[in-house]
Amino acid sequence: MMLMVMTAGDSVGENAVISPLAWTSLDDEVLLIMERPEHCTVLFDYIDRQIDEGLAKELMRQLVEAAIHIHKVGVFHHDLKPENILIEYDEARLIPRVRIIDFGCGCFMTPGYHGYVGTSCYQPPESNTQGTYEAGPTTVWQLGCILLQLMSKMIDLFATGMQHCEHFLAYTIMELEVSEDCKKFLKSCFLFNPDQRITLEQMRCHPWFSSSVPPEA
């Protein structure tokens, strides 16, 4: 499964997913030797920094494209969160590059899943209320959580277990000092009915990605 996603790029380092350099079978296990970008940090370390909306938009654009790619090859990551995303940067790169790691909770795409696998604070509400969940809406919910953490600059935003409280999410989004397009983007990620939630393809075409961000005062 992991090799399906990671070898879908043209060569090592070109895919949004960290590439394998070599692998070998050890009885019932597979040993992977993975690419290690020289200049990178986990997205988690960015949360409490002063990230402006423009940079957050570019990182989210890359995450949406990466998620679409992963799903197209038939894989569901299941656990997108700041700790599983690397930000690669160097002097020649104007915009940091997103790299996806850790497919330990990943699985093949199926019509539905029962029994949530992944980090609980990024769990979509329907996995509790309906007892089932789908790859697309779950990934959208997780991307919304990541963006809300970046924009609020609060590492422990979901540590209180309030991520499934509609009033908490609505208030947190309302208080953000971001553009209205960004707020609308976030709200569309957090619709509690998964059938009404924005899709990955719709995220790609959202007005937020084509709008200009006013300069900070």
Q: Which two tokens stand for residue 81?
A: 């969160």
Nearest to 133 by CA among 143, 123, 142: 123
Name 7's Cβ contacts closer than 8 Å, sequence gap at least 6. 19, 20
82-120 pLDDT per residue, tens: 999 999 987 777 888 999 999 889 999 999 999 999 999
- Strand positions, DSSP E, the chain: 20-26, 29-34, 40-42, 75-76, 85-88, 97-100, 107-108
CA 7 to CA 20: how far, in whole Å? 8
> Is residue 77 a contact partner of residue 104, using CB atoms and an 8 Å limit?
no
Q: How confident is the model at residue 214 (pLDDT cuts 50, 70, 90)?
A: low
DSSP-assigned beta bridge partners for residue 133:
113
138-148 pLDDT per residue, tens: 999 999 999 99
Structural domains in the chain, CATH included, are 39-208 (1.10.510.10)
Summarize the confidence of residues 139-160 as an average pLDDT: 89
